[in-house]
Amino acid sequence: MEKKLSKKALLKSFHNWYYGHLTCFSQEHMQTFGYLCAMLPLVEELYQDEDEKANAMNTYTAFFNTEPQLGTVIVGMTAGLEEARANGADDVDDETINSLRAGLMGPVAGIGDSLVVGTVIPILLGIALGMSTGGSPLGAIFYIIVWNLFAYFGMRFLYFKGYRLGGKAVDFLIGAQGDALRESVSTLGGIVIGAVAATWVSVTTSLQLFNDEGEAYLTLQDKLDEVFPGLLTAAVIVICWFLMAKKKMSPIKVMLLLVVIALVGVLVGFFDPQLVY
């Protein structure tokens, strides 16, 4: 008998994501536990055996982070894929689901941050500020009501759209089409992640060499910029990736290591914290 998720389970899953996508948020896990909360009602309904439930939930323990409003479509898609897996779809497994999640979370975050954070919210705030002229509370009331209505019904629409797409997406995940899709999505996600890293991470050195007169005759950062602009930034990003991806070091340990490197770098004069007292 084919298993079909009920509207009640899907709504509970959506509400768990809507209210709890930042559940137990940390730099190491970010939205992982919110995702787990969203998938729990679905797994409970689809599987009867406790081992099958545990195996299904283990799929969603992988790191996840995206723009939460637009990212709702990813949660909906995996709901559809989980339903397909419960019905015995051979080509839907842990790797397929997590590849889809990992490949989409970067591009969706880039689009969502630009659309929601960079466009919708500033527009609503601009209208609200105009309505608040003279100390009127209407602006605040307008923003709270309109934003919550927009977020709730927009996210709900995306969730169920993703769920319907998730079931149909099984056809595209089989054979050569599936391989091409996963490769293209993963490539796009890598491009977005690389662009974000290059935009938001900046590592420079303040190291200078001075002559007998006390004048700087060599500024290391200027020389690096002439040869390879952004070399230190790229090196730090690659090292962090290597430690986490190849050496399986946790993000917290990597961050602590970066703190130690920064502290030593400041003490020896390689980095300049530019602190003003």
In a domain, 274, yes or no: no
Range of the domain at 61: 7-195
Looking at the fold, whether 131 and 218 belong to one and the same domain comes out as: no
Looking at the fold, whether 151 and 30 belong to one and the same domain comes out as: yes
In a domain, 76, yes or no: yes
- Which residues contact residue 156 at a Cβ distance below 8 angstroms, ignoring those fewer than 6 apart? 14, 18, 72
Looking at the fold, whether 221 and 95 belong to one and the same domain comes out as: no
Looking at the fold, whether 62 and 132 belong to one and the same domain comes out as: yes
Position 174 scores a pLDDT of: 47
Report d(CA 230, CA 137) in Å as an integer.
47
Position 1 scores a pLDDT of: 67
**R_g of the chain computed on alpha carbons:** 24
In a domain, 164, yes or no: yes
Q: What is the pLDDT of residues 56-68, one digit of tens each?
A: 888 888 888 888 8
Looking at the fold, whether 113 and 32 belong to one and the same domain comes out as: yes
Q: Are 190 and 199 within 8 A, CB to CB? A: no
Among 145, 167, 195, residue at a domain's last position: 195
Among 167, 195, 223, residue at a domain's last position: 195
Query: What residue type is 38 in one-letter code?
Result: A
Give the pLDDT band (50/70/90) at residue 113.
Answer: confident
What is the overall mean pLDDT for the chain? 82
SS3 label, residue 67: coil
Q: Are 91 and 176 within 8 A, CB to CB? A: no
| Cα atoms in the Cβ-side hemisphere of radius 13 Å centred on 39 | 27
In a domain, 116, yes or no: yes
Q: Are 9 and 41 within 8 A, CB to CB? A: yes
42-47 mean pLDDT: 86
In a domain, 83, yes or no: yes
Q: Per residue in 104-129, is it b (16+ CB within 10 Å) or e — as a string?
A: bbbbbbbebbeebeeebeeebeeebe
Number of separate domains in the chain: 2
- Taken in order 84, 107, 25, 233, the sign of the CA dihedral is positive
Among 160, 195, 230, residue at a domain's last position: 195
Give the pLDDT band (50/70/90) at residue 121.
Answer: confident
Please report the DSSP string for 68-106 in residue order.
TTTTHHHHHHHHHHHHHHHTT-TT--HHHHHHHHHHHHH
Q: Which of 65 and 93 is assigned the larger pLDDT?
A: 65
Q: Are 38 and 20 within 8 A, CB to CB? A: yes
Q: Are 5 and 46 within 8 A, CB to CB? A: yes
Give the pLDDT band (50/70/90) at residue 263.
Answer: very high
SS3 label, residue 210: strand
Looking at the fold, whether 106 and 232 belong to one and the same domain comes out as: no
239-258 mean pLDDT: 89
Looking at the fold, whether 116 and 65 belong to one and the same domain comes out as: yes
15-42 mean pLDDT: 86
Looking at the fold, whether 113 and 239 belong to one and the same domain comes out as: no
Nearest to residue 195, comparing CAs of 237, 156, 148, 244?
A: 237
Looking at the fold, whether 14 and 69 belong to one and the same domain comes out as: yes
Looking at the fold, whether 22 and 110 belong to one and the same domain comes out as: yes
Looking at the fold, whether 221 and 122 belong to one and the same domain comes out as: no
Position 95 scores a pLDDT of: 76
In a domain, 276, yes or no: no
Q: Are 33 and 23 within 8 A, CB to CB? A: yes
Q: Are 96 and 185 within 8 A, CB to CB? A: no
Position 173 scores a pLDDT of: 47
Give the pLDDT band (50/70/90) at residue 259.
Answer: very high
Looking at the fold, whether 132 and 188 belong to one and the same domain comes out as: yes
Q: What are phi and psi of 64, to 5 degrees?
A: -145, 135
In a domain, 174, yes or no: yes
SS3 label, residue 219: strand
17-46 mean pLDDT: 85
In a domain, 113, yes or no: yes
Q: What are phi and psi of 208, to 5 degrees?
A: -135, 150
